Each structure stands twice: as structure tokens, then as C-alpha cells.
Structure 1
Amino acid sequence: MIATDLRTGVDRLGEMIAEARTIVPFTGAGISTETGIPDFRSPGGLWSRNQPIPFDEFVASQDARDEAWRRRFAMEETFAAAKPGRGHRALASLYKAGKIPAVITQNIDNLHQASGFKADAVIELHGNTTYARCIGCARRYELDWVKSRFDSERQAPDCTACGEPVKTATISFGQAMPEHEMRRAAELSQHCDLFIAIGSSLVVWPAAGFPMMAKHAGARLVIINNEATEQDDHADLVIRHDIGETLGPFVGN
């Protein structure tokens, strides 16, 4: 069913939420755009300005590492200013009510944690950009430390423990997906009765496979996204309206 108008979609979504025992949300960049964080693919998105730097290029080239960190620090004000939007707060309300065990997200902005989810209830398939890790020994570094070294040495720093490059704790193109998070996401997808994909184009695999995994396991599937996706025909409900307006009524419920 494709909701013909916002009210119809919100009413039907409310019925499905009320009937569900276990809800698993799957969020993409679209849930964060109302917070001021641009998405990736749309006109004006991050990739329209800069093509992503593949992981192998980051590892092989000091220039690539310098550029990656230059871009990250250029976005710091945007990330630092972002606060959870209505979509984040609605999901946090359902989490606190015991309807949602955890959220699966493609986002790297830490806004689910800021909205009230415990850290271990946020399954970050693409990592987190609010801190850094050594790609060798996985030692954690805070961004202030990286920025200080970057400014003083005029280049991206290496790990003080093992000498390998330090990178934002995100998953880049060509980098292996996190095994633990992928396994948890699969388990959740297979054991829910309502799966809600929110603000994702559902084109980045293997993450885009979780909605259909849930559907095949017997869950109802809802897709909330401004644009059509390739999985809309399989969904029980499709809402192509603003995410904040769609989920806003569920904040605090």
C-alpha cells in the first residue's frame, strides 16, 4: 500500500505500531536531513561536492588521508550543531516504551545515541564519525587530538601506539563491513514483526538487504522515504512524505 496522503499514512503506521510486539527501525541519511546534516546522493548532497575517498586510497596515500581529514574538519560545525530531529525522537520514544530493542542505522552522526538510545542499542553499520580509530590496532582517538596534530604537523596523524593511520571510526568504500554489527542486524531483522526502513535509498548493499530479510521472515515492512525505492513493491506500507512530519506524531508516545 502506498499512502495517498500523509494523514492516511500516519494513521496506518500508528495502527501497525500498536499491533507490533517487536519493531526494528532501519535508518538512512534522510532521517537526519532536518537536523542540518546533508545526505549523500541528492542534489546538494555530500557526494555532489566531493567523491568519497576509497579505503585503499586512504591507506596508500598521505595526500588522501590529509584530504579526508580536511573534509571531516570542514563538516565539524555542522555535525556539532546537529540535534536529534523528530524522527530520532519518535524512535527513541518507542525504544523507551519497550517496542524497539535496537535501531539499525547506516548513519554516522551519533544522533540516535543523543536522542536516548543506549550505545549498545545502536547498530552502526557504517561506523561513527564523532571519534577516530587507528586502522591497525583499533586504538580510539578523540577528534580534538586529531585536529591538534593535524594543525601542528600539517598532515593527518598516525597512531602513537603502532604507527598505522588514524581514521574516523567510519566504514569507507572498499572497507570490510563490521562483522558483529552485521550479525546483530541480521538477527534483529529475522526476529521482529514490524520492520521500518526510514530515509534510506536502499541501494547500498549489503545493508539494503535487511528489509527484505525481515519481510521474508514474516515481518510487515514499512518504507518511509521522500523518493521511491526498489523495494517499495514489497512493502506493506509506503509513505513518501517528510520524515519529521510522518514520525512527529509518535514523539513522546
Structure 2
Amino acid sequence: MPSITHSRYFGGVQVTVFSGAGISAESGVPTFRDAETGLWAQVDPYEISSSHGWRAHPERVWAWYLWRHHMMSAVAPNDAHRAVAAWEDYADVHVVTQNVDNLHERAGSNRVHHVHGSLFEFHCDRCGAGYLDEVPDMPEPVATVEPPRCGCGGLIRPNVVWFGEPLPDDAWQRSVDAVVNADLVVVVGTSSVVYPAAGLPELAVANGTPVIEVNPEPTPLSDSATVTLREKAASALPGLLQRLPVLLG
């Protein structure tokens, strides 16, 4: 394994970052529950985030995700996202994220694997073809919007993983590979309770890979992580590589 503690330049070292909602919350992205205000406060989350809800009321689900799309588009990457992108100057960096926003990409990260899909991609619910047209902006929430249709007659849906759906095969396999091949795994802003994604840091621990957890609150991963930093992502990540000799010895 290449040294990850005794060189200013980490050539040949692979760093895999596993990120969750906490890193984007610092940009002002509301969590799923936080976004359920006003018009959406009384809506059952299952009804707007499941294939059953989509089949029953696609116009309601589409309206909800257009609103989420607007909220995520209106915020900018924070110092944590930018720090991860800057690490590519020193190491081979892969990002495995549970987030459906595109803040890692907008910050400049080039290898981002979305295990729960992306709200910035869309596809047909019938034939699976990608949808490349722009979706309408929705600065104010509305109750219903008819989703566009594919040429085959199917409805265009967001490329996110809903309750009861499997994770995308390609993204999942790339994520597993990124963790298995990592020399260091940094777990940031995730509660470590949503499976199967939460099993990826556990895989790194089982493989003997150093794992640094960055989270202001304790999680089920905390006791097994090599190092736990009770800090927010935007504070901890910008200087993290420079701290490795002290953190990992």
C-alpha cells in the first residue's frame, strides 16, 4: 500500500470519500424531511418517494421532485465539496455519495458514484431511455404537474432510487470497487444507518483500510472507525490531508 501519511504528494494513493446528507446540508440543501414544509407538510413521504406513489399519482410525485430540483439547484457547493475536488491534485479520488444532488460535480469532482441516483438525471419509466431535455424550474411549490412523456408513451421520472427499488447496478459496483481499492476511506455527513449503502464503510473496516469518520454526532460506525472527527464537513475537510500524519500516525 502506498504511504498515506508521510508524503506531501499522495501519488498512487486512492482516497474514497463516502458522503451523506450532512455535507450538502451545509450548503443549505434541506434534508428530505426538512423540505416537507408548507404545501408538502401533510404528505406521506412514501406517497412521493415510491414506485407505488408514482403509479398512483405521477403528477404529484413529479411536482414534488421539480420542487426538490429547484431547491438543490439554488445552492452552491461548500468548502467540503471543494476540498474533496481539490484532493484530485494529490491523489486518485473517488466519491461515493448517497446524495441525489450534483454538488460534488459542480465543485469539480470527476469520479462521483451516486448509489441512490441523481435528481439531475431523468429517464422513461417504460423503456428506460434517458431524457435530455431541460425540466421546468419551479421556484414555488405546486401540488401537481404533469410529467413529460417519452416517445414510447412512458412517463419521464427522476433518476432517483425510491422506496422498495434496488440500487443502480453500475453505480453500486463502481462504489464497491472504489471502497475495496481504496487506501483511505473518508466517511462524511452520513448517519451510517441506511443500508445497503451503509455497508460500504463497514466493508472498508473489515478489509483493514483506514477509515476516517467526519460527523458532529456519533453514529454506528464511530466505534469501528480508525479516526472519528466530531467536526462539520466544511471545517474538517479542507485541511484533512495535511492532518493525516498526526491522525493516522
What TM-score bracket applies, with the shorter chain setting the length? 0.7 to 0.9
TM-score, with structure 1 as normaliser: 0.79
d(CA) in 2 for partners of 1:17, 1:240: 25
CA deviation vs aligned residue, 1:143-163 (integer Å, no higher than 9, x gap): 744669xxxxx6423533222
- The residue number in structure 1 matching 2:177 is 187
TM-score, with structure 2 as normaliser: 0.80
SS at match of 1:245: helix
Contact 2:23–2:188 (8 Å) recurs in 1: yes
The 1:60/1:76 distance shift into structure 2, 3 A limit, reads closer
- The residue number in structure 1 matching 2:91 is 98
Identity %, equivalent residues? 27
Contact 1:156–1:166 (8 Å) recurs in 2: no
- The residue number in structure 1 matching 2:61 is 68
Contact 1:193–1:218 (8 Å) recurs in 2: no
1:111 and 2:103 matched: yes
Q: Unaligned regions of 5+ residues in structure 1, if any?
A: 1-13, 149-153
Find the partner of 1:131 among 121, 129, 151: 121
- The residue number in structure 1 matching 2:164 is 174
Q: Unaligned regions of 5+ residues in structure 2, if any?
A: 139-143, 244-249
CA deviation vs aligned residue, 1:88-137 (integer Å, no higher than 9, x gap): 0111011232341x11001111111111122xx11011111123211222
Bigger helix fraction: 1
d(CA) in 1 for partners of 2:209, 2:164: 31
d(CA) in 2 for partners of 1:76, 1:143: 14
Find the partner of 2:52 among 50, 57, 61: 57
Q: Size of the alignment, in residue pairs? A: 227
d(CA) in 2 for partners of 1:228, 1:143: 42
The 1:34/1:17 distance shift into structure 2, 3 A limit, reads farther
SS at match of 1:206: coil
SS at match of 1:189: helix
d(CA) in 2 for partners of 1:142, 1:19: 39
- The residue number in structure 1 matching 2:25 is 33
